[in-house]
Amino acid sequence: MAGLEFRDVRKSFGAVAALRGVSFAVADGESHAIVGENGAGKSTLLKILAGILRPDGGAIRWRGEALHLASPREGLERGIGMVYQEMLAFPNLTVTANIFAGRELTRRGRLLEREMRRRTEALLGELHLPVRPDALAESLPAAHRQLLQVARALAFECRVLVLDEPTTALTDAETQHLFAVLDRLRARGVTLLYVSHRMPEVFRIADRITVLRDGGYVGTWTAADVSSDVIVRAMVGRDLPTRAVGAGARDDAPVVLEVRDLTRAPCMRDVSFSLRAGEIVGLFGLVGSGRSELLEAIVGLHAAQTGEIRVGGRPVRIGSVRDAVRHGIALVPEERGRQGLFFNLTIRHNLVLASRAARGGALVRGGAERAEAGRLLRDWRIKAPGLDALPDALSGGNQQKVVLARWLATGPRVLLLDEPTKGVDVGAKFDIHEIIRRQAGAGMACLVVSSDLPEILALARRVLVMRDGRLRGELRGAEATEARVMALATTDLKDVS
């Protein structure tokens, strides 16, 4: 049945063609995934569908009728609801006000608060969201804020729900909750358009999968008849070589970092582990398990209350990131936008900032700096318009590589990585994994925190699991399966004892 149809949709920003004639159709009631690397044109397509951008050419038809949307409001009125990747909530407004923002129920301009509250209660019940309608959005956990957007789409009885990477900020349990909600919507005949980088999610949700690459349409596959390898190959346009799992250091390599009984209540307690030269160790835990706090305590961002850190066998005091760098420890932080990049500084400055700070000295030697930055750009295959461009000009994957390169330039012996491939496309993810493996091959000890369990299992030779601020176990080699790691990360204390 004719549902949503894209016909030769084109859009350019200046000289850059974001969409070069994309045509495909989504059947009514279908669950359809759109995948592609960053820059493939997915977001542009969605923004056109939502009425935020207008296409340069082509048309979108909905049930046989042409859609000419001038604003997101018209999109909503035509029954197209969006769930965006970013947390688009109004932190200062209540749950009810968030759901009805821009389309409040009114009588002669006056808000019908009671009616809106009543409908919100019904919607929250439908979504199994344990949230008060009067709670402020800022008091909700990330997942609930994301589900507010779904509730909002439901409030307007949307026939099409478009979800743009909705799980980026969600934990696994929260993702499962979202999927359960989506399943119920599908059963009701709502058409889903789902954009994601994560293959397991795409196959979990979608009936059919459309691949975009470089602004062009590559093809559409029926999910049941295709493997994720085929889709990934279509996305990147090349074969990604696979690597043997768990390669790397031997057990007799020297210990470079040893953490003993590190405690910072209530985030983490009595954490002890060690890293050997040349090994990649995974650290897995759900959001709130204390994994980021552990990394931040090691590099001196938070003072630990008790415990000891040894580098190369000698106890060290690390009271700041400067101390950490001096002892050869570097942290690539979780949020490159907030904790990593300086968007007001050029890529060159972003690259050399940490190594220069570590070296000290008052004078800036432009030539040497330029040479170093240029070398980093080449070494780590960072695609940038130039050394003097701003980080805005880079794709997410290349931004992440800039942050990674910055810390590698300090010459660390221990590299801590917090979600190193969060929100980057498949190609960049592969490159980042290669960089980590190369560093380990050269003798660096790497600790990788990731919510992406397959990523950890592919990279690491052993996996540490954290829950409620404590290390719950270590799994090595073949015993590290998704099921066992997950079990350690989620089981309640009482079930273990």
Partner 1 sequence: MRSDTSRVTGRAAELAPPGAPAAAPGAKDRGRAVLAALWEVRELSTAVILLLEILFFAWYLWPEAGRPHPFLNFPNALLILKYSSIYGIAAVGAAIVIISGGIDLSPGAVIALAGVVCGALFVGSGVPLPAAMLAGILTGGAAGALAAVLIVTVRLPPFIATLGVMGIARGAAFIITEGRYFDLSARLVGGWRPLGIPADWVPPLVMLALAVVFQILMTGFQWGRAVFAVGGNETAALFSGIAVGRVKASVYVLSGLLAAVAGVVLAVVQGQGKADLATGYELDIIASAVVGGASLSGGRGSVMGAVLGTLIFGVLRNALPQIPGATFYDRLIVGLVVIVIVVMDQLLLKRRK
- Please report which residue ranges of 135-190 form alpha helices under DSSP H: 142-155, 172-187
Site string for partner 1, 76-95 (x = CB under 8 A): x-----x-x-x-xxxxxx--
Question: Binding partner 1 by CB under 8 A: which of 139, 222, 272, 481?
Answer: 139
Cα dist from 173 to 144, 170, 451, whole Å? 12, 8, 11
- Of 23, 106, 222, 491, which one interacts with partner 1 (CB under 8 A)? 106
> How many beta carbons lie within 10 A of that of residue 246, not counting itself?
17
Q: Which residue do the tokens 């009067």 mark?
A: 134
Q: Is residue 425 within 8 Å of residue 398, measured between CB atoms? A: no
Bond preceding residue 391 cis, omega within 30 of 0: no
Q: Which is nearer to partner 1, 101 or 458 (CB)?
A: 101
Whether the Cβ atoms of residue 330 and residue 416 lie closer than 8 Å to each other: yes
Report in angstroms how near the CB of residue 88 gets to partner 1 at its nearest: 4
- Where does residue 310 rank: exposed (0-12), middle (13-18), buried (19+ CB within 10 A)? middle
| Interaction residues for partner 1, span 318-337 (CB under 8 A) | none
Shortest gap between Cβ of 31 and partner 1 (angstroms)?
23
Q: How many chain residues interact with partner 1 (CB under 8 A)? A: 29
Position 75 contacts partner 1 (CB under 8 A): yes
Give all strands of the β-sheet with 306-311 in edge-to-edge order.
Answer: 268-276, 255-264, 306-311, 314-316
CB 133, min distance to partner 1, A = 15
Query: What is the smallest separation between the CB atom of 497 and partner 1, expressed in angstroms?
Result: 28
Q: Looking at beta carbons only, is 164 or 419 nearer to partner 1?
A: 164
Give residues with Cβ within 8 angstroms of 244, minimum separation 6.
none
Residue closer to partner 1, measured from CB, 104 or 434: 104
SS3 214: coil
- Separation of alpha carbons 283 and 450, rounded Å: 7
Single residue of 25, 27, 52, 226 touching partner 1 by CB under 8 A:
52
Smallest distance, partner 1 to C-beta of residue 54, A = 14
Instruction: Indicate which single residue of 45, 48, 50, 311 sits in contact with partner 1 (rule: CB under 8 A).
Output: 50
Cβ closest to partner 1, residue 73 vs residue 184 = 73
* 160-164 vs 191-195, strand pairing mode: parallel
**In the complex, least distance from residue 93 CB atom to partner 1, rounded to whole angstroms:** 6
Q: Any contact of residue 71 with partner 1 (CB under 8 A)?
A: yes
Options 109-117, 182-190, 211-219, 330-338: segment touching partner 1 (CB under 8 A): 109-117
107 binds partner 1 (CB under 8 A): no
Q: How far apart are CA 403 and CA 352, in angstroms?
A: 10
Q: Assign residue 40 a region (left: φ > 0; alpha: ψ between -120 and 50; beta: otherwise).
A: alpha
Residues that bind partner 1 (CB under 8 A): 50, 52, 71-76, 82, 84, 86, 88-93, 97, 101-104, 106, 109-111, 113, 139, 152
